[in-house]
């Protein structure tokens, strides 16, 4: 689920009202033009597709990354990043829409998921945000991708935010579910109102050895519970869940997950190699690339109100709420809306 441990935390989490999903709010900077590609996107029903073509593998940075690819190899690149505890199947309906529109779509398993593996056994199983962003930049280098449109939700949105903020020359434009999710350990020290703390129950569970052992033993049941809480109106079937849950059997998944949440609370250290990046992120840098932020109207996961982060996007910017009982896994629950946002921001 998303992290809103950022510099605005004190301001917009000062009341109990801010601890729950905000009422739908549309904020708009410059409107994104309707493009010919957008007009040509076919309608799709969520759940139409169930699989990708055979996954590819490539060495990139400290990882051998497993990724799905769709669309023409010479098309403009779109990178789509998944969250926790989900996987690349969040984009199983988005990818063919974008491929048909002429985009080259790359959907990697993040570290600790699916077929992605560490190249060395002694590499720290680090889940801190900067490490995940460096992974994606390394993947772009390995695939010889100079610049891409990047879309994501949850951990994927935070990773996209970081790349857009620190390496804007690599990010043509961005679609970010739940907005601006860049945070820091220092901001994470600030206590929240009780209702907000309640939403982060699993974060505190993971801070204990019992929590680590419990997640190791019950990761599939744990993930199903999170899916249900985060998307209360998404009536996914067993097959849909099982396809993604298989990615959680990665041998490094538990270690990455536990370290990620402990790092946010400040109960686990990061690596020195990422310290300078984390210091830059702690300043909550503005994002200048063209951006569309999105929110489902029934997101049951912790997320900031759009009014709290709108000013962090200083370039061309639009926010939209997707209605119809859409929860946290917006790309899988509302693939048409997500694909349209990618095309709009890519063609802006």
pLDDT tier, 37 (very low <50, low <70, confident <90, very high otherwise) = confident
pLDDT at residue 218 in the model: 98
- What is the C-alpha to C-alpha distance for residues 285 and 10, in angstroms, rounded to an integer? 17
pLDDT at residue 32 in the model: 65
Average pLDDT over residues 59-69: 98
User: DSSP string covering 290-316, please?
Assistant: -EEEEEETT--S----GGGTGGGB-SS
Residue with tokens 């390995």: 142
pLDDT tier, 189 (very low <50, low <70, confident <90, very high otherwise) = confident
Residue 162 has pLDDT above 60, yes or no: yes
Residue 329 has pLDDT above 60, yes or no: yes
Average pLDDT over residues 156-175: 98
pLDDT tens for each residue of 277-296: 999 999 999 999 999 999 99
Using CB atoms within 10 A of its CB, is residue 204 exposed (0-12), middle (13-18) or buried (19+)? middle
Provide the mean pLDDT of the chain.
91
pLDDT tens for each residue of 3-29: 443 433 333 333 333 332 333 334 444
- What is the C-alpha to C-alpha distance for residues 108 and 148, in angstroms, rounded to an integer? 14
pLDDT at residue 22 in the model: 31
pLDDT tier, 199 (very low <50, low <70, confident <90, very high otherwise) = very high
pLDDT at residue 12 in the model: 33
pLDDT tier, 68 (very low <50, low <70, confident <90, very high otherwise) = very high
* Comparison of pLDDT for 319 and 39, the residue scoring more: 319
- What is the C-alpha to C-alpha distance for residues 105 and 47, in angstroms, rounded to an integer? 19
pLDDT at residue 60 in the model: 98
Using the Cα atoms of residue 130, residue 134, residue 136 and residue 137 in order, give the sign of their dihedral. positive
The total of other beta-carbon atoms located within 10 Å of residue 64's CB is: 15
77 contact partners, CB below 8 Å, separation of at least 6? 103, 104, 105, 106, 145, 147, 148, 149
Residue 268 has pLDDT above 50, yes or no: yes
Q: In the Cβ-directed half-sphere of 198, how many Cα atoms lie within 13 Å?
A: 8
pLDDT tier, 33 (very low <50, low <70, confident <90, very high otherwise) = low
- How far lies 252's CA from each of 1, 55, 111, 125, 193, in Å? 18, 19, 8, 7, 33
Task: Show the tokens assigned to 224.
Answer: 């199903």
Query: How do strand 63-70 and strand 104-108 relate by DSSP bridges?
Result: antiparallel
pLDDT tens for each residue of 291-309: 999 999 999 999 999 999 9
CB 105 within 8 A of CB 87: no
- What is the C-alpha to C-alpha distance for residues 71 and 99, in angstroms, rounded to an integer? 4
Task: Work out the angle at residue 307's Cα, subtended by the Cα atoms of residues 110 and 226, and round it to the nearest 5 degrees.
Answer: 40
Least confident of 94-108, 185-199, 206-220, 318-332: 185-199
pLDDT tier, 40 (very low <50, low <70, confident <90, very high otherwise) = confident
Average pLDDT over residues 178-194: 92
Residue 246 has pLDDT above 60, yes or no: yes
């Amino acid at each position: 689920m998303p992290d809103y441990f950022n510099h605005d935390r004190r301001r917009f989490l000062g009341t109990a009202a801010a601890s729950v999903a905000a009422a739908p709010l549309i904020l708009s900077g410059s409107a994104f033009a309707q493009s010919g590609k957008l007009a040509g996107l076919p309608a799709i029903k969520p759940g139409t597709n169930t699989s990708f073509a055979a996954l590819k593998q490539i060495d990139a940075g400290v990882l051998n990354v497993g990724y799905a690819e769709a669309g023409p190899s010479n098309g403009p690149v779109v990178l789509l990043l998944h969250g926790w505890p989900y996987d690349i199947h969040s984009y199983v309906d988005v990818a063919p829409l974008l491929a048909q529109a002429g985009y080259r779509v790359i959907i990697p398993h993040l570290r600790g998921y699916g077929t992605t593996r560490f190249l060395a056994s002694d590499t720290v199983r680090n889940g801190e945000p900067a490490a995940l962003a460096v992974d994606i930049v390394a993947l772009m280098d390995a695939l010889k991708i100079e610049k891409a449109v990047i879309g994501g939700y949850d951990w994927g949105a935070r990773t996209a935010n970081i790349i857009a903020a620190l390496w804007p020359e690599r990010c043509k434009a961005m679609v970010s579910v739940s907005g601006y999710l860049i945070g820091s350990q220092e901001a994470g020290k600030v206590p929240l109102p009780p209702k907000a703390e309640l939403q982060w129950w699993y974060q505190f569970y993971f801070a204990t050895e019992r929590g680590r052992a419990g997640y190791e033993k019950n990761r599939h049941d744990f993930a199903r519970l999170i899916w249900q809480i985060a998307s209360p109106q998404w009536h996914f079937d067993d097959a849909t869940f099982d396809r993604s849950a298989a990615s959680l059997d990665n041998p490094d998944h538990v270690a990455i997950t536990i370290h990620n949440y402990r790092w946010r609370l400040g109960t686990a250290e990061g690596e020195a190699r990422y310290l300078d990046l984390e210091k830059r992120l702690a300043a909550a840098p503005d994002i200048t690339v063209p951006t569309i932020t999105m929110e489902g109207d029934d997101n049951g996961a912790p997320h900031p109100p759009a009014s709290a982060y709108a000013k962090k996007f200083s370039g061309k910017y639009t926010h939209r709420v997707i209605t119809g009982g859409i929860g946290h896994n917006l790309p899988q629950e509302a693939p048409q809306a997500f694909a349209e946002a990618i095309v709009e921001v890519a063609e802006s």
